[in-house]
Amino acid sequence: MFSICSAVYILSARLSMFAIRSQAVVYFVYARLSTYFRGILHLFRIGFTIFQLLSYTDSIKAYLTLFKHILGGQRECA
C-alpha cells in the first residue's frame, strides 16, 4: 500500500537531492568564475606593472646613465 505520507517522504527526498545537486553546480560555477576573474585580475596587475616600467623608462635611463658616468669615472681614475 502506498500512502500519502510515503509519497511526501519520497518527494521531499527527491527535492533535497535536487537542491544538493543544484547547490553543487552553483559552487562549481562560482569556483570556475572566481578562478577566471582572479586570472584576469592577475593579468591586469602584470600589465599595469609593465606599463609602469615602460612609462618610467626615461628615469631608468637617467639612472643607468648616471651609473655609467660613475663607473666610467672610476675606470679613468684607476
Residue ranges covered by each domain of the chain? 4-77
20-48: pLDDT as tens digits: 777 777 777 777 777 777 766 666 777 67
Give CA–CA dist 48/74, Å, rounded. Answer: 37
Q: Quick one: DSSP state of residue 2? A: -
Mean pLDDT over the full length of the chain: 70
Tell how far CA 54 is from the center of its chain. 23
Output the CA angle 42-44-46, nearest 5 degrees. 70
Give the pLDDT score at 60: 66
The whole-angstrom separation of Cα 68 and Cα 74 is: 10
pTM exceeds 0.75, yes or no: no
